[in-house]
Structure 1
Amino acid sequence: MFTWQLWCTLFCVLWLYFLWTLCRFYSLIFTIPGPIGYPLIGVALKVRRREDVLKILKNFLDRYGSFLITWLGPIPSFVTTDPQLIQDILNSQNCLDKANVYRVVNDVAGLGLITAKEPHWSVLRKMLNPAFGLNALTSLVPTFNAEANSLLKMVEPLVDSGEQDLLPLLQNFSLNVASQTTMGCGVNENGNIESHQLLNISNLQESMTEIFFSPWLISRTLRQLFGREDQYFKAKTEIRGFINKLIEPTLSKVSEQLKDKNNFLNLATDLKNRGIFTTQNVEDHSVQIVFAAFETTANTVAYTLMLLAMFPEYQEKAFEELCSFFPKSGDFDVSYSDIKNLVYLDLILNESMRLLTPVPIVGRQTMRDVRLSNGIFIPKGVQIAIDIFHLHRDKKIWGENAETFDPEHFLPHNLQEKHPYSFIPFTKGIRNCIGWRHALISIKIILAKLLRTYKFSTSYKFEDLDFVEDLTLKFKTVPLLDIQRRDC
């Protein structure tokens, strides 16, 4: 129970911390423009609603320019959409650690590769890279094809059944593919994932997003005080139990029984058997890897289909290209060579990830003092938010039609003058996404199968899309899709 004395003590501690932080980072206030907000809470009141976050950031960027300083609680945050500054940050040895708000990921999924700090992260990355190397991933192409064929069978009953929400189906499917290709055991082998488990994932993401933008909620005591703990604890406990159940059979194997060391779980289990990992390490890495992979894949496939349904002229061009490679529909296989040669599908996928970027905002922090290429000095301990969503929609970079869907943005002659860090759906630099090749290969195979077999349409208008920041990009209202079978 919180007494008034405890409240007073907490308030005084926060004030002292806020004043100490102001003194420590006072130079930022005078050298970088931006909204400070209110004492102690900064701009937290403005961004407390998930559906307001991206709109508020856009207002800040329009007012202060492509980089600014703001405060989230008593913590300063450097926000930028400038591609050169983003390159400086993502290639700096002094900015390798994820932002403090990612502690909530550790709380949910344990201490895995995604949130590990330096120098531990560099060691982990080298050990786990073989599971995501090109040779390992090309060996998964038959699995991706087989799983995509199973998706076609799931979609078939929905043909000519009116507009429907495909996201739950694609999430179920992608979770199975992610677990199958990283751990060698699909969730569907033990029965389809139940709807309440997908709901747990959704509830957990909402809670994690709330903690991201209200950092004080990282404290369990404060979550309990504000009535945010019960749903959060239930969801994270069930999800960890779900993943742990999948990996238990592999964890019990000795190294000689682990035939494919390129498989992520086999590789991690082998490291455990050699005394490098603990069982807890294997569990934590597995939870982080699977959940990083499955939803970004599901969303990217779904959002690409939605955009093509809204802009049917581009869907027809994609269909024509697919017909030239695969004259007969059905259970055709997409080879790795096909993936590289499907040029127009590549344009469409890049444009989809530009416009509806899978992860709108990523965070880093300065481990030591950093001076950026524009002369700005950022002291140690400052949080950094890279706003990918608005970087990808910047009209100074992408032209006047930056906020509409046009695959020609990615034609070679349209990319020549653009900064290499203008398009970073998987981030770039030293700590880029370890699974970016895995994601692209699986997504292209899935899209090739779906678009060659079915035609997608919708009555939902592109201009009516309303976005929600939920760690991954979400919609306030999900567009529904009508599915028709292609005749040839």
Structure 2
Amino acid sequence: MNLILAILCLVVLATYYLWSRRDFYKFFAKFPGPLGYPLIGIAHKMRHKEDLLSLFGSYIKDYGTTLVTWLGPLPLLIVSDPQVTQDILNSPHCVNKSLMYKIFDDAGGKGLLSLEDPVWTEHRKMLNPAFGHKVLLSFFPIFNDETAILLKEFDKMADGRETDILPCLQHFTLSIATQTTMGTCVKEEPSFKNSSLIAHVEWLQECVADFVLSPWFNFRIIRQLLGREEHYFRSKTQIRSFIRKLVDKKLSRDIQDKTTGNKNFFLNLAVEHLKRGSFDRENVENESIIIVLGAFETSSKTLANTLMLLAMFPEYQEKAFDEILALFPNAGDFSVSYEDTQQMVYMDLVLRECMRLIAPVPVVVRQASKDVRLSNGVCMPKGTQILIDIFHMHRSKDIWGPEADSFNPDHFLPHNFQEKHPYAYIPFTKGLRNCIGWRYGILSMKVTLAKLVRNYKFSTSFNYKHLQFIDNITIKLATTPLLKLERRI
């Protein structure tokens, strides 16, 4: 009886809410889309991240590139149209992340990833100098030193057998991320050496992806009842403990030595705001977690995916090799400068094509904090949840032509790309809330790819058409292809 009363109360409250927001119905009438079930909409179909991208793909095929459905009692606008995407990403009323992102506040703390405006704008302005041009140039010695070490690790894998290169790249990018943002080398840290930190990051990401799609996991009691709390809590605690230790080291050095070096170095900058009172200690830790994890996680996967695609398409690998060979005729380690990266024209095409096909973050979700009028004249009501499907927009045959699903760096040749809509390609998103470290990521990856492509030939027995993609916050492959490495001379 109590259960029946609870359900009836829920139905009454939901009905009242929807009646009071009749603007939602008017908006829904403007676009096609699946209705789903009463009260839950299509929430039941979004429970499994393994099927999410194929679900959105089927909706786009059936209803077009802009469609509306229901996510519980809220309308969900699913967008893979460049113009509507531009409307949203440039609107000051669509800066906030969706309600679906609330779990990020618990997992990593409130930082640039999930903060709401106007606090997000304040933090972004304070932290922007950490990724200024002069700061990025100062990172090149670290990029070069770490890639020299990476070559030695890859030498060990060049034994004629196929191997998984991702774990090696994860250690490499994590080491670079901690040095370039936190000013600390972590190679002697036990959690780095035994890979437990990376394992905790991967588990936390798995949990967050599941929890985003199942909002009831925002309640700790639910996580406990379903056996998900203990491992999740341990992972987020270990990650915070790791970052806290790096922050403590920085604060201790500041007390002992007043020379802080580059004041725009990320952690230096955050600590300066702590001293001024514009940040508290929790802000420093939260932003550090977001920056470090964001820097290493997306870079390692993009590097692995780029080498995988070059292995699958050897004709493009040879073109990239020829360009790098002309710049660096001698095999082995060599120093790569910023000027060198600007001459890597074809490597730039390769990297961009990889991020088109395998977008680092395939889906981003925002919400409207006020009514927003789109360029097509439709008024999107306050409270609308907005899902931007980058993955399928990057693979649209209407935008990229009949071979949109295939790897071909020529897609980004000037005569092929210059007529594309400016928001047809957004691997780091775009607009008011784009990725703060996108230039950092591009430069570090170009230095790394130059040395790896110059020194090794990559091949694989895995067929491109068998790749399956999973939305795991950052993109994930259902099966990781193994690569064979051969030394070049």
Q: Would you say same fold, with TM above 0.5?
A: yes
Partner of 2:151: 152
- Look up the SS of the partner of 2:84 in the other structure: helix
Tell me which residue corresponds to 1:431. 433
Distance 1:443 1:13 in 2: 54
The one-letter code matched in structure 2 to 1:353 is M
1:127 is matched with 126
Code of the residue aligned with 1:448 in structure 2: it is A
Alignment of 1:383-462 (within 5 A): 383-462=385-464
Aligned-residue offset at 1:220: 1.6
Question: Under a length normalisation based on structure 1, what TM-score does the superposition of the two structures give?
Answer: 0.96
Partner of 2:201: 201
The amino acid of 1:233's aligned partner reads F
Alpha-carbon deviations, 1:280-309, whole Å to 9, x = none? 110011011111111100000000000000
Cα shift at 1:219: 1.8
Q: Does 1:378 align with 2:377?
A: no
Please state if 1:22 is matched with 2:21: no
Of 460-469 and 31-40, deviating more is 31-40
Give the 5 Å matches for 1:144-223: 144-191=143-190, 192-223=192-223
Q: Corresponding residue for 1:36? A: 35
Evaluate the alpha carbon distance shift between residue 16 and residue 181 of structure 1 in structure 2; reply closer, same or farther with a 3 A threshold.
Answer: farther
Q: 1:35 to 1:272 in 2, by over 3 A?
A: same
CA 400–21 in structure 1, closer or farther in 2 if over 3 Å, else same:
farther
Which deviations, in whole Å up to 9, do the C-alpha atoms of 1:258-291 show, x marking residues without a partner?
2221210111011111222111110011011111
1:475 is matched by which residue type in structure 2? L
Partners of 1:282 and 1:473 in 2: CA distance: 27
Please say if residues 73 and 214 of structure 1, whose CA atoms lie closer than 8 Å, have aligned partners that are also in contact: no
User: How many angstroms does 1:216 deviate by?
Assistant: 2.3
Residue identity in the other structure for 2:204: L
Equivalence for 2:140: 141
**How much has 1:10 moved relative to structure 2?**
5.5
| Secondary structure of the corresponding residue to residue 45 of structure 1 | helix
Is the Cα contact below 8 Å between 1:90 and 1:96 reproduced in 2?
yes
Contact 1:161–1:483, Cα closer than 8 Å, also in 2: yes
Post-superposition offset of 1:161: 4.1
In 1, Cα distance between equivalents of 2:469 and 2:478: 6
Can you give the 5+ residue segments of structure 2 that lack an aligned partner in the other structure?
Answer: none
Aligned residues: 483
Counterpart code for 1:305: L
Distance change >3 Å, CA 179–CA 16, structure 1 → 2:
farther
- Give the C-alpha shift of residue 316 in structure 1: 0.5
Distance change (3 Å), C-alpha of 1:316 and 1:290? same
Shift of 1:14: 4.1
Amino acid of the structure 2 residue aligned with 1:34: G
- Give the drift of 1:168: 1.2
What's the counterpart of residue 246 of structure 1? 246
Contact 2:151-2:333 within 8 A present in 1 as well: no
Counterparts in 2 of 1:15 and 1:153: CA distance versus 1, 3 Å: farther
Instruction: Give, in whole Å, the separation in 1 of the partners of 2:121 and 2:462.
Output: 45
Cα distance in 1, alignment partners of residues 314 and 326 from structure 2: 19
CA distance in 1, matches of 2:75, 2:193: 41
Alignment partners' CA distance in 2, 1:376 and 1:384: 14
Once residues 334 and 197 of structure 2 are traced to their aligned partners in structure 1, the CA distance between those partners, rounded to angstroms, is 32
Contact preservation (8 Å) 2:160, 2:484:
yes
Counterpart secondary structure, 1:188 = coil
Provide Cα deviations, 1:394-451, integer angstroms capped at 9, x if missing partner: 0000000000000000000001221000000001111111000110010111111111
Q: 1:55-107: per-residue Cα shift (whole Å, max 9, x none)?
A: 00000111110011122333321110000011111111111111111111111
Q: 1:323 is matched with which residue: 303, 322, 325?
A: 325
Q: SS where residue 294 of structure 2 aligns? A: helix
Which residue does the alignment assign to 1:229?
A: 229
Residue 282 of structure 2 is aligned to residue 286 of structure 1: no
Q: Contact 1:102–1:115 (CA<8 Å) still a contact in 2?
A: yes
- Superposed CA offset, 1:447-479 (max 9, x none): 111111111100000000011110011111100
Distance across 2 between alignment mates of 1:323 and 1:241? 44
8 Å contact 2:28–2:75 — kept in the other structure? no
Q: 1:365 aligns with which of 359, 364, 367?
A: 367
Give 1:15's aligned amino acid. Answer: V
How far did residue 363 of structure 1 move? Answer: 1.2
Q: CA deviation at 1:223?
A: 2.2
Q: CA deviation at 1:193?
A: 4.0
Partner of 1:339: 341
Change (3 A) 1:64 1:454: same
